[in-house]
Amino acid sequence: MSILTIEDLNYALPDKVLYQEGNVTLNRGEHMGLVGKNGAGKSTLIKILIGEVLADSGKITWQNHVKLGYLEQYLLIEEGQTIREFLRTSFKFLYDLEKEIEGLYADYGESLADDLLEKAGKKQEILEQSGFYAIEQRIEKMAFGLGIAAIGMEKKLSELSGGQKSKVFLAKLLLEEPDVLLLDEPTNYLDDTHVQWLAGFLNDFAGSYLVISHDYQFLNEITNCICDIEFGRLQKYPGNLKKALKLKEIANENYLKEYHAQQEKIDKLENYIRKYKAGSRSTIAKSREKQLNKIDRLSAPERVYQSAFEFPHAPILANYLIETKNLAIGYKHALLPTIDLIVQRGEKIAINGFNGIGKSTLLKTLIGEIPALGGNVILPEGLEINYFSQELNWPNQSLTPFDYVREAYPTLLDKEIRTQLARSGIHDDNVKKAMKFLSGGEQTKVKLCIMTMIKSNLLILDEPTNHLDTDTKRALRQALDAYEGTMLIVSHEADFYENLVDRIVNIEDLQAG
């Protein structure tokens, strides 16, 4: 039974068509993955489904009384609210019901009216059937599964990093158990262990969901159908991602054949019309023109742009590029026991450990963005660091990729800026499009583009694959593999870094002796 029906959906940006006569259904109990290249329109489709973006035309039909759960980027939080208090708001209706019951018993104490006891009894039954007295256990289980418990349940939301808040918002959404989940990159800010926990949770989820994720291993594990966006079409495939990609390859071959056959037919008709419109065969030409106007034209295959990254290397003589002694990291309080770390010249190291433990904080402390709470960070002379932060924070969202590269490198010619952006996969109108209108993947490419013009002997990367499609991740991995310098990387995608690094270090193993 269809819980969502999308009919004849059309939506175009000034520079390209995202969907043309798109049709797809999500049935009750289906676990659908939404895939497509960066900028294909995946996040936009979810925004259309919730009414945040208005389609050009088409019809979106949700089943009556369906409860939607959408992982929003920002949620309203009360000043001073703790993680535990915020997660309890998932069950607000039950807490409100408890207060009603208490009020009924209080009124009964004054009036002794039997109908009040009867009302209280019925409401109490609803409370018990809804699992009210197991709420705390459910919250604790969710917090442990997503790595939130390690942050501290009594910590205030206002004190959390953006990544930590994202995990807490995800937990709240999952606790609410809506009929349909709409999840956009839910594995961002989760480490391997918690990604696996989330996969298990979603596989057991009784409702339906639509999930966007560039972590294809995760998507393959949790889906039983796929919606692919390409050529302006919404194409649904049965099975998990691996099966869908095989079916897509066949479908794409057929589509390209149809497209080229149609183009050949159009060319012949247009040539005939041009040649005979004013001559003796004008009647036939007019007939051909009518025939041409009736053709339902297929969208042209979008040109595929490949990213090609290269991180220039600056030589350095020092043998140790990073050395820490009794380093304490954190904000007001230390997140971990003190850390001893030595990074030798030429090493490529992945740092793992569950999220919230302090991997990003460690990286920011090493580069001096966050002051150490104690101990020392020893860096050699001549060290040149090239740093990738996982946050997509732009001082001015109205500026374009061209503007940001110009700001970073004011001496570059316009042509050189365009060339650099093109090599990183930013082409055509996207070069002069405001950052707020670019997808997460396209914004990440802009950050990487700026990094490719920095000479360094130490690359530090914090979750660089978030938002990137498979082809761009492959290009990035090749560039990191070719990089001649030293590298520290934090990533929740083990299959991205495992064969790239010399060693994998758990952050808890760095504790000073």
432 CB-side CA count, 13 A = 5
Q: What is the token pair recorded at 478?
A: 């090749």
Residues of the chain where predicted confidence (pLDDT) is lower than 70: 72-79, 108, 280, 302-305, 354-357, 511-513
Q: Does some domain include residue 443?
A: yes
Domain count, the chain: 1
CA distance 64 to 137: 32
pLDDT at residue 354, rounded to an integer: 62
Strands laid side by side in the 225-230 sheet: 68-70, 180-184, 208-212, 31-35, 225-230, 233-238
Q: What is the pLDDT of residue 302?
A: 66
How many Å separate Cα 82 from the centre of its chain? 25
Alpha helices in 330-439 (DSSP H): 359-366, 401-408, 414-423
Is residue 136 situated within a structural domain?
A: no
User: For residue 296, which of 233, 227, 251 has the smallest C-alpha distance?
Assistant: 233
Please give the residue range of the domain that contains residue 486: 320-510
Is 154 part of a structural domain of the chain?
A: no
Contact present, 469 and 477 (Cβ < 8 Å): no
Number of Cβ within a 10 Å radius of residue 436 = 11
In a domain, 387, yes or no: yes
Task: State the pTM of this model.
Answer: 0.70
Strand 17-27 and strand 2-12: the pairing is antiparallel
Whether 276 is covered by a domain: the verdict is: no
CATH classification at residue 504? 3.40.50.300
Q: What is the pLDDT of residue 404?
A: 94
Q: Is residue 153 situated within a structural domain?
A: no
How crowded is residue 350: how many other Cβ atoms within 10 Å of its Cβ?
21
Q: What is the pLDDT of residue 459?
A: 97
Question: And the tokens for 137?
Answer: 């256990």
pLDDT at 74: 45
Residue 504 falls inside a structural domain: yes
Residues paired with residue 234 on neighbouring β-strands, in sequence order: 229
